[in-house]
Structure 1
Amino acid sequence: MVIVQATERPRLVEIRDNLLSRILEAEREGWLDEIEGLQSSLTHTEEKLAQLDAQIARKQTAVDLGIPTFRDIAARTPTATRPPE
Structure 2
Amino acid sequence: MPEAAGHPKMLPRLAEIEKDLILRRSRAEEEQWLGEIEGIDMTLTFVRTKQADAARTAQRAPIALGIPTTRRPE
With normalisation by structure 2, the TM-score equals 0.72
- Report the CA distance between 1:23 and its aligned residue: 0.6
Q: Which residue of 1 aligns with 2:45?
A: 43
Q: Do structure 1's residue 4 and structure 2's residue 6 form an aligned pair?
A: yes
Q: Which residue of 1 aligns with 2:34?
A: 32
Q: Which residue of 1 aligns with 2:15?
A: 13
- Report the CA distance between 1:9 and its aligned residue: 1.2
Structure 1 outlier segments of 4+, above 4 Å: none
- Report the CA distance between 1:55 and its aligned residue: 1.3
Tell me if structure 1 keeps the 8 A contact 2:6–2:57: no
SS in 2 for 1:22: helix
Q: Which runs of 5+ in 1 are unaligned?
A: 63-68, 71-85
C-alpha distance in structure 2 between counterparts of 1:3 and 1:55, whole Å = 7
- Report the CA distance between 1:6 and its aligned residue: 1.5
Larger Rg: 1
Q: Which protein has greater RCO, CA pairs closer than 8 Å, 6+ apart? A: 2
Tell me if structure 1 keeps the 8 A contact 2:21–2:44: yes
Aligned length: 62
- Report the CA distance between 1:56 and its aligned residue: 1.1
Q: Which runs of 5+ in 2 are unaligned?
A: 68-74
- Report the CA distance between 1:3 and its aligned residue: 3.6
Query: What RMSD, in angstroms, separates the aligned Cα atoms of the two structures?
Result: 2.0
Q: Percent identity?
A: 34
